[in-house]
Structure 1
Amino acid sequence: MASTQSTVVGSGNPVLKWVLRVIVVGYLFFLVAWPSSLIVSRAFEGGIEGFKEALSDPDVIHALQLSLTVAVCAVVINLVFGVGMSMLLVRYEFPGKRVLSALIDLPLAVSPIVVGLALVLVYNGRYGWFGPTLESHGLQVVFAQPGMIMATTFVALPLVIREVVPVLEDMGDEQEQAANSLGATGWQTFWRVTLPGIKWAVVYGVVLSLARSLGEFGAVKVVAGNVSGETTTAPVLVQQKYQNFEQQTAYAVSFVLVAAAVLCLVVVALLRPKDQKKGRATATAAIQEKP
């Protein structure tokens, strides 16, 4: 109650409002807007022709294609297992549930470089646990696309789950139980009842996973081996080009990565249902009118 009153008092003070706004805008400007604008200006420093020439480099084209392939594969894997894991955590009780929930957040706490090193220790063809066996059957994991996909999948693992779990908890299971009582199978219940209720959480999780996967650097760099023209992704290529004094190319690739992430967020914002926007606006108005 006291915190609510202090919030109301603070929101009614115009000076405090403007101070907070200036602080927030300044924080975003110096941390996000200014550095991003510098990348844009440097990417087009040589004009459109210079930008096109930088992106026409065969190494750049291959790196962008490889990054997209790895990111899409990681997103599909996280989508399937993320939704399934969310259903498991919300709809079922089992021993070790809290431990599993904590392990899901492990990628947020562990350095991506450590993740890459762990995958090398397990799947390396020379001294890894499973590497020699897999390579004897013609499957190379480390220093190849499978290892890059695994590393990217691990890094983006929690994003779909942490978007879907709260929505499933808010939905409850009454509608699912009603569908089951009417004779619907498990798949029918999921496709016709559960999925429509969580579809926007799934979309948000997929977009965040895609943006995170496209920009992954540390884990992929360790696992890929950075063989030029074969296992070099776009973020790793940015570092290589910048260190080799090919800064125009580095800025151009960075701009493409930033633009892809921003585009994903804009598309989701535009596709958000109007009833969600109206519902949030109504809830905000009700809170403001509440004495």
Structure 2
Amino acid sequence: MNDSEVPAFWQALGLPGLADVHVHFLPPRMLRRVWAYFDAAGPLVGVEWPIRYRWPDADRVAHLDKLGVRAFTALAYAHKPGMAADLNDWTLGFARETPGCVPSATFYPEPSVTSYVSSAVSSGARVFKVHLQVGGFDPVDPLLAPVWGMLSDAGIPVVVHAGHAPMAASFTGPEPFTALLARHPRLTAIVAHMGSPDYSTFLDLATRYERVALDTTMVFTPFFDQLVPFPLEERPRLRDLGQAGKILLGTDFPNIPYEYADQLQGLVRLDLGDAWLRAVCWHNLWSTLGLTGSHAL
């Protein structure tokens, strides 16, 4: 499958399009820095990683529309104090101007965090993103306790890069995330990259906690399979969790070194059935957001 064939993929499933929980749109200056980091194969990347869709925002939005991606996020993430509030202003403004974009926000452990997260929620944020690898912070930092509680009560999902891949950091891996869930068991969390490479442990957490889900971002693609392949013996649990609404399509567009279609082809190769693909590629995002369809954005 290539990108030109993506619309035929979802049309054959009887879907109105695709819903992608893991897409990045960032302020231009930050985006240039992120791409430069990937170009240099920085310490948290560790491998050659050419950006496939190095295009202006408008071109990337148009490409998503051409593919049939009817819902997508604009995930930003802060790596130091004083960034998150401004990022939220930008991503929420981007969503207001961009049809199909789920209003997205982020946070970082700092004294003002409760205030600006509350403001983002009041401004319509429907999903948050935190990156424990890049941010380098402990998810159970006391400054974050009120935020996790607020988002748990509101049922607003948080996409959490909690796994070690592509490179481990101080607060990645199952242990810090498990500690967070022990304190906030009702948190609606979407684990990025399925928690790679600790797939089985994060599948355990998704099974144990009612509101924990996993996104497919980069997993099952030939690129990622060379680095941290998904264990085939876990396919039955992957099938069951997908049917239970706990596996969501994610891609990392545009920061991927291959075509968008590679992610979808990887899901097809799992041979888990059309009903599973329909759930993962469309229905599960809406149920996680507490919405019923694309017109709710």
Shorter-normalised TM range: under 0.3
Give TM-score scaled by structure 1 length: 0.26
Give TM-score scaled by structure 2 length: 0.25
Bigger share in strand: 2
- Relative contact order (alpha carbons < 8 A, sep ≥ 6): 1 or 2 greater? 1
